[in-house]
Amino acid sequence: QGCGLLLLCLSLALEVDILLPAFVMIGASAPAFLFVTFCVANLFPGREGMVVSVVNGAYDLSVLVYPTINSIRIAQEAPLVNVLSIYAAVIIALVGVFALFLWPDRPFISDAEHAVARDAKAAALALESLAGGGDAGAGADDAVAGAERAADDTDA
């Protein structure tokens, strides 16, 4: 992708029409970025195939960006720098809006990580209860029950 962007910059600086090779090089690097995003599917257990399909579809549709930009540039007789600046501003605005509304309130954790956290909370509460004195068995049972309620509250 770096070579493609370099050709794109040279095309703008030297006013030479080498946009097609630049776009081909940028587009050819897209599969490398696609493979990196496959792990996102693990965030949606039971729907991994659908998520991979959506991500793949988004990358497939991205091939239309540069021909559209070039068509706008030709139709409006606008400098490519202006068209790309507007495109960048739109992308930055969209990323900001999506981050604002779709950013998760808490981090994703797996069921195994959740179980470990619940057990750690239960152990900490049991130790705290034992350190406070009293009936050790009853305190530990109360601590475990309290930790389970706290873990259930974090699920909601």
How confident is the model over 108-152, as pLDDT tens digits?
A: 777 777 788 888 888 888 787 777 655 545 555 565 566 566 556
**Res. 33: pLDDT tops 80:** no
Alpha-carbon distance values, 135 to 57, 128, 139 (Å) = 61, 13, 6
What's the confidence (pLDDT) of residue 149?
A: 64
Residues 6+ apart with CB under 8 A from 109: 117
Q: What is the pLDDT of residues 64-112, one digit of tens each?
A: 888 888 898 899 998 888 888 888 888 889 989 988 888 777 777 777 7
HSE value, Cβ hemisphere, 13 Å, CA-based, for 100: 6
Task: Give me the residue spans of the domains in the chain.
Answer: 2-102, 111-155
